[in-house]
Chain A
């Protein structure tokens, strides 16, 4: 039972409980959270690769952009407690990318420019639930928000949607990525408020 904080009362409109997970509040801004400087990889040397399958697979930027794309409107939820509703993205479905590879692995470690990694189950990337996004709000995805391309896995806390993503390493076992090594949850389901290790 939480103690009452004397004199504290609600100032914000109640967030719709079916849209906003517990402990989150809605913002109209798009805050930026990253651990280091924003990397800037030229598109001429950018690749997206999937390692750990039967054969390694890699796309150049032009090859990646020639893949079929989808428009996605979705809510996103950051572990620092902001949620942003009805964000509009354009990207390539992970169904397309993983569909180009033969593999048995059950997990991936996504890796990014700057050394950032994050771990996800393969099942969470399939079935129209995850994309490699290159567009936001009708324009290109800005570098501070992860451009030229980032993962978009909106049903998990947003740190799983790795910025500046450069590929996936398919793995038989689930190993912690960057924030997971610092005490954040291995899975990160906002609806179960899995913010930290053991939640």
Chain B
């Protein structure tokens, strides 16, 4: 469980300017954020966002970083209809608008070339990434970082969405880099002629998709609580040591 201890003062709030935005799905948007003094980040980290209204009211939320280290900072946000920050970011914000960021935050749910190997260098066994809904965001950063760093580590991404229309990054994942397999399951509705999985992730599916434990895989699981609970428990049943299953849970709240 390699991790770099961070004991210094974390960076403070910095002004960010909204750059190009990309609509990923009807409810999900990626926003590039121009931050002049962004200190850089690692794949899997998140960033705090603060919005200020003209009456001084402020709201803060944390969002996973969607871009790889070395790429401009980007977040991918899913609109929660009863939310306060996500409707603004997905519907109102446009290039040139200003907000504040603080980060990067988090040092555990991160991947770097060499993560999971005993020595911290070389290949650490294959990567299993499991995403529920917008939990795919930090995992996309990991996939991009693997390519950027030229890592040969094989990757399987098991990605559960309600429907094909809800799949984020479908274009990017449609042409995955060599060594990366994307396996979808669509839990609520499927396109005609759909050949893939069409149910919630269960132990049978995990046994079919997940790397055998004997290959010493490293797993990252991100999504809503129920998804993470069942996937993480399923991987442990398949023989994955708990310490090699990193989780990040999104509560059905916030926004």
Contact = CB atoms under 8 A, between A and B. Distances in A.
Interface in A64-87: 80-82
A54 interface: no
B79 interface: no
Interface in B133-158: none
Interface string B43-55: 0000000111111
Most chain B beta-carbon contacts within 10 A, residue among A7, A33, A37, A196: A37
A39 interface: yes
Interface stretch (B4-12, B22-30, B161-169): B4-12
Interface string A101-124: 000000000000011000000000
A184 B252 CA distance: 23
B108 interface: yes
Interface string A1-43: 0111111111110000000000101010111111111110000
B60 A5 contact: no
A31 B13 contact: no
Nearest to B1: A115
B241 to A, nearest CB: 10
Interface in A185-199: 196-199
Given A36-B246, A37-B232, A182-B106, A2 B50 contact: yes
A37 B8 CA distance: 29
Interface in A140-199: 144, 176, 178-179, 181-183, 196-199
B119 interface: no
Most chain B beta-carbon contacts within 10 A, residue among A6, A29, A38: A6
Interface of B: 3, 5-10, 13, 15, 50-55, 57-62, 83-84, 87-88, 92-93, 97-100, 105-109, 225, 228-229, 232-233, 235-236, 242-243, 245-247, 249-254
Closest 3 CB pairs of A and B: A31-B251, A198-B9, A182-B107
